[in-house]
Amino acid sequence: MNMKTSPKIASCGPAALALVGGALGVNDSQAAIVYTPVTSGGTISSGGTLWFDLGEDGSGAWSSSSIPGADFNFQNSGGAVYSYAVGTPVPRMNVSGIYSVKMASGAPVDSGITTWQPDCTVAYTGHGNFPKDGTHGYLGLRVEPTVSAFKYGWAEISYNVDGSLTLYGFAVQTDGTSINTGQTSAVPEPAETGLVAALLAGGVAVWRRRQAFKRAA
């Protein structure tokens, strides 16, 4: 991997840089979020369908027709949009009764949510939690690659004034930890961020002392 480094940091030697890399979590065990944006073609009108694979195995995908590994299938029947779980093991959606829950941006999707269903009504004119006005909202999703390890994700949608539904993007946290709706990448823990700052400050101090010693000599 090619990367530019500050001369000051590089002067601290490879050991210090390795510590910084470790604090940043640059290793294979870092939690990963697979984010799949839907930039065009994600709107389904009456009679349309939309299939999507959250990407829990490393790569997300979506299509207006059936795709291998899909987790969910949206069907617009005209006046209502239904979601069907098509993955194995069965994926599920956060619901309230028979309707999907409209979540705000930044809301946690994790084990704290207790109401999950494989099939539900995403949007229904005059009913449910997504009004027919084009406003964006998030769906809380859960997939189960193994019996003991749920993986949480989200999808951003809107139910539009003409009765169509638009999918804007979706993401999944591949290590089974919490994800916030709208989150597209892993965020270092505050403690890790503080450690990185301390290491960088220490490296600069070492460099300055070396420069001062060279001038004195």
User: Is residue 75 included in any domain, yes or no?
Assistant: yes
Task: Using pLDDT thresholds of 50, 70 and 90, give the confidence band for residue 195.
Answer: very low
Q: Which residues lie closer than 8 Å to 136 by C-beta, 6 or more apart?
A: 156, 157, 158, 168
Helical segments of the chain, H only: 7-10, 14-24, 190-216
In a domain, 188, yes or no: no
Q: Does some domain include residue 28? A: no
Domain with 106, as residue range(s), is: 33-180
8 Å CB contact between 212 and 206: no
Residue 173 resides in a domain = yes
Domains: count for the chain: 1
Tell me, what's the pLDDT at 5? 29
pLDDT in tens, 130-152: 999 999 999 999 998 765 689 99
Structural domain includes residue 61? yes
Contact present, 132 and 160 (Cβ < 8 Å): yes
Structure confidence at residue 14 (pLDDT):
41
Query: What pLDDT is attached to residue 21?
Result: 39
pLDDT tens digits, 6-36? 333 333 444 443 333 333 333 333 459 999 9
Using the predicted structure, report yes or no on whether residue 2 has a pLDDT greater than 80: no
d(Cα 20, Cα 12) in Å, to the nearest integer? 11
- Asked, for residue 18, whether it belongs to a domain, the answer is no
Residue 89: cis peptide before it, omega within 30 degrees of 0? yes
Give the model's confidence band at 176: pLDDT under 50 very low, under 70 low, under 90 confident, else very high: confident
Question: Can you give the pLDDT at residue 19?
Answer: 37
> Is 12 a domain residue?
no
Give the mean pLDDT of 71-93.
95
The lowest-confidence range among 101-115, 138-152, 193-207 is 193-207
Mean pLDDT, all residues of the chain: 81
Residue 117: inside a domain: yes
pLDDT for 25 equals 33
**pTM score, whole prediction:** 0.74
